Chain A
Amino acid sequence: MIEPNNIDLTSTPPNTLPEHPRIIELKNVERSYREGAGQTWVLRRIDLTIRPGDFLTIMGPSGAGKSSLLNVLALLDDQWRGEYWLTAEPVHHMNRKKRAELAKRNIGMVFQSYHLLDDLTVQENIDLPLSYKNIPRPERQALVADALDRFNIVGKKDLYPSQLSGGQQQLVGIARAVIHRPALLLADEPTGNLHSTQAKEIMELFRGLNEQGTTIIQVTHSEVNAAYGNRIVELRDGWMVNDSAHPETRRASGDKS
C-alpha cells in the first residue's frame, strides 16, 4: 500500500478508503446481448477482486470481452447480472441515478481514441468532469490550472484538440480523467493509436499516478504496457481464463461448453 501522504504532486488525497482492502469486488458477473431469438454471452461468471493501489491489466484476443468488462466496471453499462461492490458499496442494488453519482465521484476514464470534444479547447475539455459537479468556479479554475501544470500542457490550454498530436491529445484525455481525483482510473487501450515513444510517455504517466495511489485498470494488447502493471487478467470468449494474482483460477477454455 502506498501512503497517500507520500504523494508529492497532489495536495489532496484521492478518495481511496484505506480501511477497505478491496476497491472493487465482482461476483459472478455476467453480460449478454440479445441477438434475434437467442443470446450471445460476452462476459461469463466473472469473479474479480481489486485492491486499492492495484495496477491491473486486462488482456485477451479481440472480441474477448475486455471493453465490455471495462464498461461494467465504469458503471456505463447497466445490463449485467451478478454482484458488484465499488468502494464497498453494492452497485447491483443501486438505481441508475445512484450509479451515475457513484461513478462521477470515483471513476475516471481514458479512451483509445481520446474522445476529446472538438469544439472545446484543451482547458475546457479538462474542465468538463468538474462542470458536472457542484464545484464553485474559482475552485474549478484552480484545479484546471493545476492539472495543466502537472501534465505540462499549460502552453496548449487554448488550443483545440485538432491542433494537437495524438500523444498530446491523450495527455489531455488523461488530465481530464484525473482532474476530479478519482480513486479508480479505467483506460481502454489508451495507447492503441499512438507510436511506441508516445505510448511510453503515457505509460510512465500512469505509473506515476498509480504510485500516488490511483488504482488503474487498463486494457491493452501490448506486453510492454502490461509490464507497467502489477497484475494481469486474461479474458477469452467472455471467460476469465487467467489471473496473475491467482494462478490457481486458471480455467480451461473448454469449461464453457
Chain B
Amino acid sequence: MFVALLNHVRYALRQLRKSPGFTLTAVLTLAIGIGATTAIFSLLWSVMLKPLPVEHPEQLYKIGSQNKCCVNGGMQSDWAIFSDDKYEYFRDHTKGFRSLAAFQAGMDTFSVRRGGAGEKAQAADGNYVSGNYFSTVGTPILRGRAFTMADDHEGASPVAVLSYRYWRERFALDPAVIGSTLMINGRAVTVVGVTPPGFYGVSLRSDPPDFWLPLHQEIDLTKNQPLVSEPNKDWLDLVGRVAPGTNIQQIDAQINGELRQWLQAHAATLNAMTPGSSQLIPQQRTELAPAAASSNMLGLSYRKGLMLLLWAALAVLLIVCANVAGLMLVRATAHRQQTAISVALGATRGEVIRQSLAFSVILAIFGGVGALAVSYAVTNMMLALAFRGSSRLPLDAAPSWPVLAFAFGASLITGLIFGAIPAWLSSRAQPAEALRGANRGSSGDASARPQQLLVVLQAALSVVLLCAAGLLLRSLNNLEHQNFGFQTQGRVVAQIDPALAGVKYANLDPFYRRLRERLGRIPGVTAASYAAYTPMTFDNSSTTPFFPGRPASKGGNADSVSFTSVGPDYFQAIGARILRGRPITEQDNNNSRHVAVVNQAFAKKYFDGDAIGRHFGIQAQLNSQFEIVGVTEDTKYNNPDQPAPPMFFLAMDQSIQVAPPFKPEDAYFLSYARNIVIAFHGSAAGKEREIRAALTDVNPDLAPQHLRTFEDQVSLNLNGEILIARLTLLFGLTALVLAAIGLYGVTSYSVARRTGEIGIRMALGANRAQVLRTVMRRAMAQALLGLALGIPLAWLAGRLLAGRIYQVSSFDPLIVTVTVACLAVSAALAALLPARRAAGVNPVEALRNE
C-alpha cells in the first residue's frame, strides 16, 4: 500500500518535471488561490479563533457577554462593566469561581519617565488590574513577579508590570529596568515584572496596554477623580476562572442574584442619580460568557468583514480549482493514448484514478508552498490596511502552525477537487477507441465540454466577485464623500492631554486662552479651537437629558444622547454650519449663563425643531441649567454609515453645576480638551511642524499624541470598509484574470484540436474572417453563459451585502454594466489570440496532418 503510494508519488513527480510549463502555470495559479484563502484564514485565526495567551483559556469566563467601555453610571440593563465595590461583592460572595479578577475596560494614558535619569517624559497606556489578575488569567511572568493582593490596596508601595513589547521598545530589554523606579504621572513606581511576549491581556484590541497597575493605585496615580472609590461608576471588566466541570449556569444564576442584591442595597443612591431607576432593578441582568469571545474587541469589529472576505477568497479558490482542472483536462486528453494503453495493459479504473489524484494532490501541495508566500504578503497588506493608525498591534503575519495546517489542508482539498474531474473522465477512457485513434482532428468539441463548463463557472464567479467589489467600492466612495456635517479639507486635528502636561483644573482658563492665541498666530489659520472630543476620533460621551416640566425619562438607552464640550470658534474650526441662533463664543464663560448648542436631530426630537431659548439639564434636579442658543447641522461624530444621532454641545469655558450625589469634580473631565482642531486657508499639508512648535510654546509637555489631517482622521474610521473593498476588488480582478486565462486555455486547446476541421472548412470556402468569427463566437458564448449564470448570483450576493453597503442599491445597473464590459473585454482579449491563430491555419498543413 505504502509502496504503491510512493510509486504514485514518484511517477507524478517525474511527470511534473517533464512538463515544466504546465507545472509552473498550475503551481502559480494554485499559489494565488490557496494563498488568498490562507491569508484570510490567518487573520481570522489570529483575530477570532486563536486561544487567549493564557493557561487553560477555556476555564476563563467574563461577567457580561458584551464589550463596554469605558466608564458608565446608572443602569446597564445587560451588565458588562462594574465598579470596584460590585467586583468585591461578587468576588467575596460567588462560590463557583476559583478566583475572580477585575481589569479596567478602557486604558489610561500616563506620562512615564525613567527615574533618576534626566529623560523626557513619554506617554504610555496603562491598565488597572486587581491584585489577583495575573494569577487568575494564568500567565507566567517572564521576569520578576506578578502582582499580589498585597500590592492592591490604598497606600501600598506603587508597582507596575510591563508588557514585553513595551520593555523591548522603550527600554531595549534592559534587565536593569526590573526592580528600578519609573516616574508615572509624577509618582515613583517600581517595576516588578515583565509579561511574556505575546501576552496582551484578556481582551484582544488593536493597541494593548504598555503596562499594568494595581487597581487601588488609581487613587494616587490618576489625574482625574479616582474611579476605584466610586461604587456607582462602572469601569471594570470581570474575569473569573472556574474549575473544570463547573456548572456554569449555576454561577450565572448566582451572579445575577448578587447583582440585583447589590443594586437593591444601593437603591436610594441610584434614585438620587436618576429618579425612578430602582424600579428597573428587577430587569437588570448579566451573563457569564467565555472570556475569549466576549472580550475580543477585534473579533467583534472584524468578524463580519472577515467572513465576507473568506467567502470572496473561497470563490477565488474555486476559480483556481476550475482553472487547474481545465489544465488537467487538457493534459489528460493529451495523455489519453497513454492512459488507454495502460488500461489496455490491465490497469484498473481505480489505479488510473489514484494515479491522477496523486498527481493533482502533489501539484496542489507545491501550490500550497507557494501559497505561504502569497499569504504572507496579503496578510501583511491586510494588517496594514485594517489597523492603520495603530502602533502596537498584537498580531503579525508570520505563519503559525494552525495557518500552515490550514494551507496544507486547503491544498489537499483543492488537489482532490480539481483532480477528481479529470481523473473520473480519464478513467472512462475507452481503450479501443483511443487506440484506434478515433478522435481525428476533425472531431468536434464534445471532449472540451467539461472544460467549457469550468470556464463558464469561472466567468460566473468572477462576475459575482467584481459586482460585489463594485458595490463595496461605491459604498466606500459614498461613505468617504458624504456630507459629514463638517468640512474635512484644510483641517488638522490633534490629540492632546493637558492633564498629562500638568495643567491643573484651576489653570485651564489661562491655558486655553494662551492656546487659542498661539494657534491663531500660525500663518494661514482661519480658526482654531478645542473640544472634549471632535468628530471621528473614536470618542464619545453620552448622558440623559432632562427637561423642565416633563417627566424624567427612565434612564434607558433610548434617551441617551451624545454630547461634547467645545471652545470658542469650534463650529467654524470643524466647518459645521450654525443653522439658527449663534455658536458658542468667548463670552460663554463662568460670568454668563450656561448655554448649549444642539444639533438638528436634538432640536427635532425634543422640541419639534424649535429649540432656541429652550432649556434642559443633565440631572433631574438641574433640568434647566442650559439654555439653547444655537442649532447646528447634524454632524457625524461616530459611525459614518449611520445618521447623526441627537447631540448637544456645551461651552468648555463654563464650569458645570452638579447636584448630589455627584461632586463638582465629577464634571471636571468636561473641561479638559482631548482634541484641538485647526482650519487653514487652502491646504493643511505641511503644517505639522508649525502646529507642534505652537503647542510646545504653550506648554513644553503638550506634545500631541496624534496629529492628522481631518481627511486622514475620517479615513481611519473607514479602515474596515477600505480593507474589504480593496481586497474584494483584488480578488475580483484576480478572478477575472484567472477566468480569462481559463478561457484562453480552453480556446487555444480547442483551436489546436480543431486545426484539421479549420483546414477542411477553409478548403471548402471558409475565409479567414469567418474562421476568426467562429472561434470568437464560441469563446464569447462561454463568457455570455458565465454572465447569465453570474448576474443572478451577483444579485444574490448583493442582497447578502445589503447590510454592509451605504446608499448603494444591492443591484446597481452601472456596476453590472461595468462588470459586463470588463468580462467582455477580457474574454475578447483572451479569445483573440487563439482566434487569430485559427485564422492563420495553413490549410495545406492542416489537411496533411489529418
Contacts and interface: CB of A to CB of B under 8 A. Distances in A.
Interface of A: 67, 71, 74, 76-77, 96-97, 100-101, 103-104, 109, 111, 113, 115-120, 128-129, 132-133, 176, 180
Given A76-B844, A115-B760, A115-B850, A133 B440 contact: no
Contacts of A77: 844
B347 interface: no
A9 to B, nearest CB: 22
Contact of B446 (A119, A120, A133): A119
A173 to B, nearest CB: 10
B767 A119 contact: no
Given A128-B761, A128-B764, A132-B767, A76 B843 contact: yes
A119 B445 contact: yes
Interface in B430-467: 440, 442-446
B402 to A, nearest CB: 51
A100 B767 contact: yes
Interface string B830-850: 000000000000011001101
B443 A103 contact: no
A121 B74 CA distance: 85
B344 interface: no
B844 A119 contact: no
A132 B770 CA distance: 8
Given A128-B761, A176-B764, A119 B443 contact: yes
A71 B766 contact: no
A171 B231 CA distance: 105
Contacts of B847: 76, 111, 115
Given A76-B844, A111-B847, A117 B757 contact: yes
A129 B757 contact: no
19 contacts: A67-B848, A71-B844, A76-B763, A76-B843, A76-B844, A76-B847, A77-B844, A97-B767, A100-B765, A101-B767, A109-B763, A115-B847, A116-B442, A119-B443, A119-B445, A120-B444, A128-B761, A132-B765, A176-B764
B27 interface: no
A189 to B, nearest CB: 12
A38 to B, nearest CB: 20
Contacts of B763: 74, 76, 109, 115
B762 interface: yes
A-B pairs with lowest CB-CB distance, top 7: A119-B444, A104-B765, A132-B765, A118-B443, A115-B760, A129-B764, A76-B843
Contact of B444 (A97, A100, A117): A117
A239 to B, nearest CB: 21
Contacts of A100: 762, 765, 767-768
Interface string B686-705: 00000000000000000000
A61 B451 CA distance: 44
Nearest to B763: A109
A134 to B, nearest CB: 12
A243 B445 CA distance: 45
Interface of B, secondary structure class, is helix
Interface in B750-775: 756-757, 760-768, 770
Contacts of B756: 115
B445 to A, nearest CB: 7
B444 A132 contact: no
A120 B444 CA distance: 8
B239 to A, nearest CB: 71
Contacts of B766: 132
Given A71-B844, A117-B757, A117-B760, A133 B765 contact: yes
B844 A117 contact: no
Contacts of B765: 100, 103-104, 129, 132-133, 180
Interface in B718-771: 756-757, 760-768, 770
B766 to A, nearest CB: 5
A76 B762 contact: yes
Contacts of A128: 761, 764
A97 B844 CA distance: 16
B751 to A, nearest CB: 15
Given A71-B844, A76-B843, A77-B844, A132 B764 contact: yes
B850 A118 contact: no
Contacts of B445: 119
A72 B761 CA distance: 17
A109 B446 contact: no
A182 to B, nearest CB: 10
Nearest to B444: A119
Contacts of B443: 118-119
Nearest to B769: A97
A39 to B, nearest CB: 17
Nearest to B756: A115
Contacts of A116: 442
Q: Which of B760, B763, B766, B848 has the most CB of A within 10 A?
A: B763
Nearest to B767: A100
B535 to A, nearest CB: 67
Nearest to A119: B444
A6 B761 CA distance: 32
Contacts of A113: 440, 850
Q: Which of A74, A77, A118 has the most CB of B within 10 A?
A: A118
Q: Which of A117, A120, A176 has the most CB of B within 10 A?
A: A117
A118 B760 CA distance: 12
Contact of A118 (B440, B767, B844): B440
Contacts of A71: 844
A101 B444 CA distance: 26
B164 to A, nearest CB: 70
A133 B770 CA distance: 11
A117 B445 CA distance: 11
A74 B848 CA distance: 14
Given A77-B844, A117-B757, A119-B446, A109 B762 contact: no
Contacts of A129: 764-765
Contacts of B757: 117
Contacts of A101: 767
Interface in B399-441: 440
B765 to A, nearest CB: 4
A47 to B, nearest CB: 22
